[in-house]
Amino acid sequence: MIYLLFGIVILICIYTVRHYFFTLNRLFGFQRHPYIDIDTADWPQVTVLVAAHNEEKVISHILTALMKVNYPQEKFVVMPVNDRSTDRTREIIDSFVQAHPGRIRPFHRIGGKGGKAAALKDAMERIETEVILIFDADYIPGSALIKQLVAPFFDPEVGGVMGRVVPLNVGTNLLTRLLDLERAGGYQVDQQARMNLRLVPQHGGTVAGVRLSALQEIGGWNDNSLTEDTDLTYRLLLAGWKTVYQNRSECYEEVPETWAVRIKQIMRWAKGHNQVLATYGLRLLFGKHLATFRERVDGLLLLGVYVMAPVTIIGWLLALAVFYQGVNPLHGIIALLSITAYAAVGNFAAFFEIAAAARLDSSRERVRLLPLLMLGFLVSIVAVSRAVISQLMDFLTGAQLHWDKTERFRAPS
């Protein structure tokens, strides 16, 4: 038991060091934005996919925004992927098609497998451009965003691009405010540090792009995956393609406004991540492929993030058991120093990361909410652990994984 606890402590320490390393890199290290300067070029043809499943509340916002972007019109086609919607999504899309002839080429999907990945997979048959950008329907791209997301594809090593997601409905309630902080930490610090350190920035499946030839090389979208974006990141990596992160390519999104929706969302992410870990984890670390050593290590740590939730709970239970059994694993003073050191530094690694993100974003007051993140942390750790248990049960019973769309909260226009 004590050795299992030691193992868990070592894992937690590794993640703690990782958090600090990323944060310090963002605060003091060299920042890589190699493609952001490309403002003049012979821009390639691009197709913008808008994944939409019952999106009547938001679809008109993104289509309006996309009609105003700064990109050569003759090289830019928007393809709303209307995936079996039963609301007014189709009607709204068709009204835009009429209002902007030749600029919107809709794909109304009326059958087939459910889920975003399956819809994108079907849409691929209709795409001829080398560069594909992907947005979820609740996003609102700014006019410069398209060029910024296309620019990295001038690098022939780049297979995928990810931009920064910024919550729009921040002030709604406690949850949205906590999610705003979490997103800031995740993108402003975590993703950019991985970009700086040439590790594995993660493709998020929205505010993102992919190179058609790279996608074809790796076999297209995996419609069996709950998180097709994570799956894509790792298959690109194994095939020697880079996914790059563009921190200054920002786009507004809507975050969940109720805890139930949030829990559902994070459970899906956890299951998807774990699915990718189970599928590619060993191959990533030990297999013969084109990822570098540092990409292998970071890629595995990134995939292990959601496994750490149940591992941490097990660690807590083991620590209690060890305490009540009276096991004295280390000399008293060393144990005391270790616990004190971890309590002083380790516990706050993730919070330090988020505080650093708030500073980098020059947002002053919202950082005061940091202590309340403990609430979000506790909810997440339980939800993710539930997801892991449910996934294990699914595996044992042979049940199929089910894709759940995240509910929208915006009032329709």
Partner 1 sequence: MNPSVAILCLVLATAGLLALPLMPAIGELRKKHDAQPLSVIQQYAGEIRHFASGFRNYIEPLQQRLQECVALRMTAAGVLHQDDEYLLLGEVDQTSLSRMVGREGTTCPMLVAAGVDLVLPGGLTFRKEIFAGGQFLGGEQSTYRAILGDKQIHLQRASKVLRWAHAAGSFQVDHNCDLYGRVSSDEQMLLQSGCFFQRLNAPCIVMGSPEVTADGNGSFASAISTVEPTPERPARRRLIEGDWEIQPGEVVRENIVSRGKLHIGAGARIFGSAKSNSEMVVGPDVVVEGSLISAATMHIGPRCQIRGPVISEREMVIQSGAQCGAPQIPTTVSAPIIDAEEGSLFFGTLWAREQGRVIPKS
Residue 230 CB neighbours (<10 A): 25
How many residues make up the chain in this entry?
Answer: 413
142/304 with CB nearer partner 1: 142
Instruction: Name the nearest CA neighbour of 238 among 304, 200, 289, 302.
Output: 289
Q: What is the binding site for partner 1 (CB under 8 A)?
A: 32, 34-35, 37-42, 44, 70, 130, 142-144, 151, 154-157, 166-171, 174, 177, 180, 184, 212-213, 240, 250-252, 290, 361, 363-366, 368-372
Quick one: 151 or 199, whose CB is closer to partner 1? 151
Write down the least CB distance from residue 246 to partner 1, Å: 13
What's the min distance (Å) between Cβ of 230 and partner 1?
Answer: 23
What's at 289, amino acid-wise? H
Task: Give whichever of 196 and 225 is closer to partner 1, judged by the CB atom.
Answer: 196
Q: Of 288 and 331, which CB lies nearer to partner 1 in the complex structure?
A: 288
Q: What are phi and psi of 329, to 5 degrees?
A: -70, -30
Q: How far is the CB of 396 from partner 1 (least distance, A)?
A: 40
Give the burial class of 134: count Cβ atoms within 10 A of its Cβ; 0-12 exposed, 13-18 middle, 19 or more buried.
buried
* CA 164 distance to own-chain centroid: 10
Nearer Cβ to partner 1, position 331 or 368? Answer: 368
Question: What's the Cα-to-Cα distance from 164 to each of 71, 149, 187, 209, 263, rounded to whole Å?
Answer: 19, 10, 6, 12, 22
* Residue bearing tokens 């299951």: 271
Spatial separation of the C-alpha atoms in residues 285 and 74, rounded to whole Å: 44
CB of 39 to partner 1, least distance (A): 6
Instruction: For partner 1, give the closer residue by CB, 290 or 399.
Output: 290
Report how far apart, in Å, the C-alpha atoms of 74 and of each of 29, 77, 101, 124, 354 are.
40, 8, 12, 20, 41
In angstroms, give the least distance from the CB of 139 to partner 1.
11
Minimum distance from CB of 327 to partner 1 (Å)? 30
Nearer to partner 1, 208 or 303 (CB): 208
Q: Which residues pair with 52 in a beta bridge?
A: 82
* Closer residue to partner 1 (CB): 136 or 250: 250
Closest approach of Cβ 46 to partner 1, in Å?
A: 14
DSSP state of 170: G
Least spacing, CB of residue 413 vs partner 1, in Å: 17
Q: For residue 116, which of 149, 159, 85, 78 has the smallest C-alpha distance?
A: 85
